[in-house]
Structure 1
């Protein structure tokens, strides 16, 4: 098509004639065909190539944005982070260094550092559970007391994220536990009272483990009528020292607990990340 346009362009330029006058002594005028400059002759063909070039560049840019090649999408979304987060685009692309986890089955969401990855053990167990539910084999026989060995532990996190290759000392996880429909955290007191109770529960009766509640606050969501208790505490023993930030809330017969933990040595570097994770945790259903 481009070559046809080129030949048409050359044909059109060849029929244009430019009149030339001779010397003043010759009263007869004459004309001859004078070809146009190459720039004018190739102008139609150049416009065709220019349009195709622009279309090609535009298409390549869209592909790059869609695939986030070289972090282009993350960069563009970072120019207006609040807009991108409101549209939940950080589920697909990091915005400001954070990705979003949305757990639709359990009804919660939060952000976490984009460099962190999901706990592979949870993924394997989830895949095994789905395979077991799809199985056509009859259920195993038992005495009715031992229960299903594949049944999920109620204290097992629904989701967990941490740095690649880490041992689990630095991570964030969410546990969802069933509670009575009328269960209320507020019935146990304010954030400080609940935080102290949580620390006592963690330390238990072990004299070698000590816990200290350092911060406690209340964050309210009037639209969904949910109170979030945000807690910060330290746990120490002769073998480890950890810093934790937790968020607790309850609604609809479910108790939600987000916990972010880090070795005390890593706390100064992770402090701002943990606060952002805690502030982002919210119920969506």
Structure 2
């Protein structure tokens, strides 16, 4: 490895398995000191027990790296604050935050109850906001004290948040919210040396291997395993390093060997009457504009 992240202190949430584990190992391989966060819950966010975070820490230290485990709930103020404190107290600083933790409670909208909505919003959206909020406060204080950091945040959205996904109304809404949060944080925190970007990964994890079993399956024989979570981590490591200077407020889709810069909402065809429309006139204008517009990408799972 090249030591791209040598001496950087990196926090990865939900890093006990899947994408988070791959990110933590990849950062450590590039010289970072890593705080491995994981609550150790099941796929639906329930249960718990022994956190897999320590297993990842043991794997990193066995390879000669430095890492510590954090088992707090990052969707609580106390847990998020202690996450930042773990980095600062354990390694003396915080340079990069990777928000990755999440789980699924998939239902069609007519069967999606309030508890399932709240739980997914809590872990994905609030679980991004609170660590970001506490890390941002730390970086602002460091900047004001003359110790500005070349700080980095990588948030985890999803194709479901960009395009929608049938049966995942709660998850899609939360992941779309993460994109909005990313854009605001990038605009607000740039003055303190903080760059904020998001990824929309596709990979084989506990959350995808059941829902998309056919497309996520590992190849039977030798060859490139396009859906391995390790394929996503190189971009995350680069975004979390000094090498990504100037890159902020962006969303990248990444899958296998493919990286795409996603281009979000932009003004398309426009009509301006310079006066109030009647409903009928507004409808006619809308139909003309739609005829001239690019068609939307289909929602995942739509037939």
Shorter-chain TM-score category?
Answer: under 0.3
- Bigger proportion of residues as helix: 2
Q: TM-score, normalised by structure 2?
A: 0.25
- The structure with the larger Rg is 1
Task: Give 1 or 2: higher strand fraction.
Answer: 1
